[in-house]
Amino acid sequence: MSKSDRKQAILDTALSLFVAQGFHATTTASIAREAGVATGTLFHHFASKDALMDHLFLAVKQEFADAIVGAANQSGNLKQDAKTLWFSALDWAIAHPLKQEFFQLYSMSPTIEQPVRAQAMNTILGFIANLIEQGQQQGILANYPIGLMQDNCHGQYLAATRYFIDHPDKWQLDDHKEASFNLFWHAMVIPISSRK
C-alpha cells in the first residue's frame, strides 16, 4: 500500500468509526487496526486523534463545497441561485450519507476548535458569506451580522438534512424539497412589503 493509500485508508476508517462509535469511544489504535496500518503510521500522518478529526472535517467540508459550487449556476437572481445551492447541498447529503452523518455529529461539536470551524466557514464556505453580502446590498436579505447568518444557514442545512436522512422517501416529494428551501430562505429574506 502506497503512502497516500495508507493515509486515505486511515481517513476512511476514521470516518466510519467516528460515525459508528463516536469520537471519544474511537481510539487511534482501533483506527490503525481497522485501516490495516501500524499505529506509528497513523501518527506519522496525524499528530493526534484531534488532528486526524480536524483534517477529516476540513477535507469533507472541502469536498462538499467543491460539489455544490461546481453545480452552482450564477443566474444573477439571488433567490434562484440560493435555491440551486440549497438543492445541490441536500443532493450531496443524500448521496454521501456517511459523510453527512459525520457533519451531523461534529459540525457543532465543542470538540472542533474555533480556528478549524472558522476555516471551514470563512475559507471553504466563504462563497456563502459573499452571497449573503450580495443579498444585503440588494436589500433582499436582512442586514444581520454575516457570521450569525452563516451559522444560521448551516443550522438550517443540518436540520433539513437530518429530516431527509431520517425520511429518505420525502426527498422524492417536490413539496417537501420546496418547503425545505422556503424555510431556509424565509429565515433570511426581508418581506417584500418591508423593502425600501
Regarding pTM above 0.85, the answer is yes
Over range 50-64, report the average pLDDT.
94
Give the span between the Cα atoms of 64 and 99, in whole angstroms. 9
**11 vs 192, residue with greater confidence:** 11
**CB environment 54-77: b (16+ within 10 A), e (fewer):** bbbbbebbeebbebbeeeeeeeee
- H or E element in which residue 155 lies: helix 146-166
Q: Judge whether residue 9 has pLDDT over 90.
A: yes
Whole-number pLDDT of residue 122? 85
Whole-number pLDDT of residue 196? 59
Whole-number pLDDT of residue 124? 87
Whole-number pLDDT of residue 176? 95
DSSP code for 172: G
